[in-house]
Amino acid sequence: MTDGPLFYVIALAMLAVLAILATGIGGFAKGGDWNRKHGNRMMRWRLIAQAAAVALIMLFVWLGGR
C-alpha cells in the first residue's frame, strides 16, 4: 500500500506544507519588511497546501479501505 504513487504524492504534499510553514515561521522570527510583505501570504499558502494534503490523505484511506 505504501508503494503506490498516491503515497509519494502525499509525502510530497506534506513536505511542501513543512517547507511553507518553516519559511513563514522563519520570516516571522526575522520580522522586518519581508514579514510585513509576505507573512500573511505564506500562511495562506500553508492553509491551501495543508487542505490539499489532508484531502489526499483522506482519499488514500478511503481507497485503502476498499
pLDDT per position in the chain (66 positions), as tens? 677 899 999 999 999 999 999 999 999 898 889 888 988 999 999 999 999 999 999 999 999 877
- Are 4 and 24 part of one and the same domain? yes
Predicted TM-score (pTM) of this structure = 0.84
**Cell 490539499 sits on residue:** 52
List phi, psi (to 5°) of 17.
-60, -45
- Are 46 and 17 spatial neighbours (Cβ–Cβ below 8 Å)? yes
Name the amino acid, one letter, at 37.
K
Query: Does one domain contain both 23 and 44?
Result: no
- In the numeric block, which cell numbers belong to residue 45? 499558502
Based on the domain organization, do 26 and 50 belong to the same domain? no
Question: How many angstroms separate the CA atoms of 21 and 6, rounded?
Answer: 22
Domain count, the chain: 2
Domain residues for the domain of 58 are: 39-65
